[in-house]
Structure 1
């Protein structure tokens, strides 16, 4: 198991990039508002942000590596979902 401070550092480093932060917040908001919870299509997020597919792919991998999201291939599409445990962990560690 990774030490809490090391885990938090990895997460905050991933969110320190404005595009990754924006992606994560969009995924989290969409997931929060959906009933039942649903994943976001990465292609839809890319279109909203007007960022190329390779760049989006890189940012998605960084968020996934930090444990902030999970991804799944659905046909030819990739979906992303925020990890609620990681979200709670960050809020707890930051005193929120």
Structure 2
């Protein structure tokens, strides 16, 4: 079974304290933060990131207080922002946070060396 096509995960930017972001870097970063700026999306992202094995079936993370179509909408927004990838297995879709995404987010918010 082939995985669904996903956006390429590209490390965004240097640490925010290292230098001012370029317009392109700011645009990419804003997309990521905008996707995480919704409490339901942040909960879904956290549920996937912290799930045992590093991936979660939508059936295991959909209890966030909104309808299933709304959960699907939020997961789609997280995928479009490059924060999640997914794979369909039978009737279920499994989501994962790529390690490069977490590393890039961590790097972005890390104080530059010597600063």
Q: TM-score, normalised by structure 1?
A: 0.83
- Ranges of 4+ aligned residues in structure 1 off by more than 4 Å: none
Partner of 1:39: 55
Supply the RMSD in Å over aligned alpha carbons. Answer: 1.8
Aligned residue for 2:107, secondary structure, equals helix
C-alpha deviation, 1:83, in angstroms: 1.7
Give deviations 1:37-92, integer Å, cap 9, x for gaps: 3420112211x324211100100000000111001110000110012111111111
Give deviations 1:10-52, integer Å, cap 9, x for gaps: 100000000000000111011xxx3xx3420112211x32421
**Which one scores higher on RCO, CA 8 angstroms, separation ≥ 6?**
2
- Distance of 1:39 and 1:84 partners within structure 2: 11
Partner of 1:66: 81
- Distance of 1:52 and 1:45 partners within structure 2: 12
Over alpha carbons, which structure has the higher Rg? 2
The yes-or-no answer on 1:81 pairing with 2:80 is no
Partner of 1:51: 66
The yes-or-no answer on 1:15 pairing with 2:36 is yes
Aligned residue for 2:94, secondary structure, equals strand
Question: Structure 1 regions of 5+ residues with no counterpart?
Answer: none
Residues paired across the two proteins, number = 90
